[in-house]
Amino acid sequence: MKSSPNNHILIPPEPVDFDPTTTPTGTYKAGKKRDDNLARILDAAEEIFVARGFKGASIQSIADAAGLPKANIHYYYKNKTTLYQSVLSKLINLWNTQFNEIKAEDDPATALDGFIREKVRISFTHPNTSKLFAMEVISGAPNLQVYMRTDLRRWVKDRAHVIQSWIEQDKMPATDPVQLIFLIWSSTQHYADFETQVLSIMNKSRYDARTQKKAADFLSDTILRGCGLRPLSAKT
Partner DNA sequence: CAAAAAGTTGTCCAAACGGTCAGGTATTTA
Partner DNA sequence: TAAATACCTGACCGTTTGGACAACTTTTTG
Among 94, 104, 148, 234, binds a second copy (CB under 8 A): 148
Residues 59-88, mask of contacts with DNA (x by CB under 7 A)? xx-------xxxxx-xx--xxxx-------
Contact residues for 97 (Cβ-Cβ < 8 A; gap 6+)? 115, 118, 119, 122
Q: State the DSSP code for 77.
A: -
Residue 112 binds to a second copy (criterion: CB under 8 A): no
Q: Which stretch binds DNA (CB under 7 A): 24-32, 132-140, 149-157, 224-232?
A: 24-32
> Alpha helix locations (H) across 77-227?
80-92, 108-125, 127-138, 145-147, 153-168, 177-193, 195-202, 209-226
Tell me the one-letter amino acid at 193.
Answer: D
Report yes or no: 47 and 63 within 8 Å, Cβ to Cβ: no
Return the residues of window 51-110 that contact a second copy according to CB under 8 A. Answer: 51-56
Nearest CA to 36 among 71, 6, 4, 76? 76
- Residues near DNA (CB under 7 A): 23-25, 27, 29, 31, 33-34, 37, 57-60, 68-72, 74-75, 78-81
Please report, as ranges, the residues that interact with a second copy according to CB under 8 A: 50-56, 131, 134-135, 137-141, 145, 148-149, 152-153, 156, 175-176, 178-180, 182-183, 185-187, 189-191, 193-194, 196-198, 200-203, 214-215, 218-219, 221-228
